[in-house]
Structure 1
Amino acid sequence: MLTLNYLPERILYRISKVHFTIKRANCDISNPVYIQDNSRNGTFVNGERVDMNKSRILQNDDVISLCHPMNKAFVFKDLCPNETMGLPKEITTTYYISRKLGSGACGLVRLVFDIRTCNQFAMKIVKKNLLSDTRVINRHKPSNSNDQEKVLNEANIMKSLSHPCVIKMHDIIDKPDSVYMVLEFMKGGDLLNRIVSNKNLNEQISKLFFFQMCHAVKYLHDKGISHRDLKPDNVLLESSNEETLLKVSDFGLSKLVQNDSVMKTLCGTPLYVAPEVLITGGRGAYTKKVDIWSLGVVLFTCLSGTLPFSDDYGSPVSEQIKHGRFRFNHPSWRKVSQRATALIKEILIVDPKKRPTIDDVLKSSWLKDNEMLRKAKALMKLEVMDIAEDEENFLQPPKKRARR
């Protein structure tokens, strides 16, 4: 709704026949209202010019001026429910707050739009006062110590990352009660929903997704970062296409570690957590090999649509994980190659010292697949040299041993 202000007659001749247009996408009240300039002499919102034939988002009480910032003609009134209540001004003056995308232990995720560029993002709101209620347990510090350091851990890590398979942070606003992280918006949802909606993924798609996840983990490990909460929920898909780019997300349980150091915080999602974490109850020492274990569980879930470890299998899930007891009983395994099941067996080894590194996993025979590599190269937009090195490692035939 627009309310009209009086304009002097002397400027009316400068106004175009269709000076600007206003519309709401798909007439959906959860979508923002856009104003597009169609004039020769300019349209202004709150004194800022809208580029010709470009759009920006209108918010409640925005002032629209014609031809000059001082020629205030309209005030926009948004009669839809207000989603900005309680949010800091730094957020509401930059972003239009749209629908809820999801929620987690520390807060929720909302779809937001940059008001000036109209680009979409996902804004993760982490409530600092909820940290003590999460599953992240640190037995070496009081539960209420260094809350700000804990909650900013994810943000500080993500700001420094740049990889096609790792979610990129666009903006961060730190306030006394919450941290607001503005991240890439992935329209394809998460991997868990993709698996559930399809019951399971065929082997070629599972391989394509697994390869991308491994590249993300290698990038993190090479930088001394362990994710520590790898699961299908934290793997986001770029589109609804069957073959799509994926990105590893949610670094709330990550920690920067130096070479040869260990992590002593009990964390991770129980169904995907490595046995050494459960065995020590978080009081022992464990390394980045916990991510390798989680990758194995995710691969198992992709291929079969089931979990390797579950309370539904008769014994407590923690005992199954500690002893590495799992089976390929589901009928879907009849269509899966022996190379795939062999890789899972190699990964889900209880002793982390015997568990492969991420480099070992990437060199597995199951990933020696020309077609998959070409598709991954296109999706990840890797440089020729990046993929060439992988192909050389994967596809070069083994050298014959010299006879003695």
Structure 2
Amino acid sequence: MKTWNLETNFLPHGIKKHTLKSGHTELWERRKKLGRGAFGTVWKETCVSGAKAGSVRAVKQMPRRHVSLVQRELIALAKFYIAMDFARYGDLESHISHRLPERETALIMVQITRAVRCIHEHNFVHRDLKPSNVLVVCRRPTWHVKVADFGVAKNIQGMDLHTSYMGTRGFMAPEIYSPSRLSAYTAAVDMWSLGTVAFRVRTGRLPWDSKDEKFAYYNNISSFPDLPLVRSGSSKRCKNFIEAVMARKPVDRLTAEQALGHKWLRRLGNYVDMIYNRCS
């Protein structure tokens, strides 16, 4: 969550040469295109020389139009790159063609919620939480996941958020669609998205089929659509958790810290720590 720059020279054939603070160098070679989104292209790279030889990483290449003014002033490069851990099992979306058992869902949500807590503690809002932005390090039944893709994340320290339509429609909080100039949206938009992810993983579908249905709930015209949760055999604690992070009013939604203390998640903290040690 801190500004970090690495002295890099771009060599022929997709090779990057990093000069470390110690004076040592590393050569990384681009091997495979992993995917492309609205905010850049992700490549698989392998270290071919240096202390990390044989290591693999994912690198996101972002056009300059998606780099903030401050970053443009700091980095005099034609393009902007973000280096990340490489997750060999892809994203969570590719693993949830069918709904997952409740315990596995809770394990995943503990980890995502911890990531959101960290993001919010550093005064950032992710704004695009969804299964395809959650990377899978270890697969079921243990599950080790990481939140990724901060392409539309925003530092909210000392500023209001008014940008509309930022994120992915099915997972966006209603207030993002048309934020009022008088009432900017807050980090609570991530909690709504987090609840939508939990609903999707547990039931295999989204809570609403259309924007109109979502706003009917948001405007207190209809109740929360808990029938898919009931049909999936979800516990009362699971349903309560999802509804608590998807409360109509942003101020009524659980914070990430409160969500981790919810009865549905809090007993799994130690087990998740064990998973981290096993998969690291």
TM-score range, shorter chain: 0.7 to 0.9
Residue of structure 2 aligned with 1:149, choices 56, 59, 69: 69
Residue of structure 2 aligned with 1:329, choices 214, 220, 227: 227
| Displacement after TM superposition at 1:285 (Å) | 0.5
**Correspondence for 1:34:** none
| Unmatched segments (≥5 aa) in structure 2 | 1-10, 19-25
Residue by residue over 1:281-301, the C-alpha shift from the partner in whole angstroms, topping out at 9 and shown as x without a partner, is 788501111111111101101
**1:362 equivalenced with 2:252 (yes/no):** no
Distance 1:119 1:182 in 2: 13
**Correspondence for 2:275:** 379
Residue by residue over 1:182-228, the C-alpha shift from the partner in whole angstroms, topping out at 9 and shown as x without a partner, is 211011211111112xx111100100110111111111111111111
Q: 1:356 is aligned with what amino acid?
A: L
SS at match of 1:252: coil
| Displacement after TM superposition at 1:149 (Å) | 2.5
Do the aligned partners of 1:274 and 1:321 also contact (CA within 8 Å) in 2? no
| Displacement after TM superposition at 1:331 (Å) | 7.6
Distance 1:235 1:282 in 2: 31
| Displacement after TM superposition at 1:322 (Å) | 4.0
SS at match of 1:310: coil
SS at match of 2:264: helix
**Correspondence for 1:168:** none
Query: What is the TM-score with the length of structure 2 in the denominator?
Result: 0.80
Distance 2:100 2:231 in 1: 11
Looking at both structures, which has the greater relative contact order when contacts are Cα pairs under 8 Å and sequence separation is at least 6? 2
Distance 2:182 2:34 in 1: 35
Distance 1:320 1:201, change over 3 A: farther
Q: 1:124 is aligned with what amino acid?
A: K
Size of the aligned set, in residue pairs, is: 254
Do the aligned partners of 1:102 and 1:110 also contact (CA within 8 Å) in 2? yes
Query: What is the TM-score with the length of structure 1 in the denominator?
Result: 0.57
CA RMSD of aligned residues (A): 3.0
Q: 2:96 is aligned with what amino acid?
A: I
**Correspondence for 2:61:** 125
Q: 1:292 is aligned with what amino acid?
A: M
Residue by residue over 1:90-116, the C-alpha shift from the partner in whole angstroms, topping out at 9 and shown as x without a partner, is 58x822211221110122111110111
| Displacement after TM superposition at 1:337 (Å) | 0.6
Residue by residue over 1:133-175, the C-alpha shift from the partner in whole angstroms, topping out at 9 and shown as x without a partner, is xxxxxxxxxxxxxx5528x49xx9xxxxxxxxxxxxxxxx862
SS at match of 1:365: coil
Distance 1:179 1:205 in 2: 36
**1:274 equivalenced with 2:177 (yes/no):** no
Distance 1:357 1:107 in 2: 30
Do the aligned partners of 2:92 and 2:136 also contact (CA within 8 Å) in 1? yes
Distance 1:89 1:213, change over 3 A: closer
Report matched runs for 1:3-152 at 5 Å. 84=13, 87=14, 90=17, 94-116=27-49, 117-129=53-65, 131=66, 148-149=68-69, 152=71
Which one has the largest radius of gyration? 1
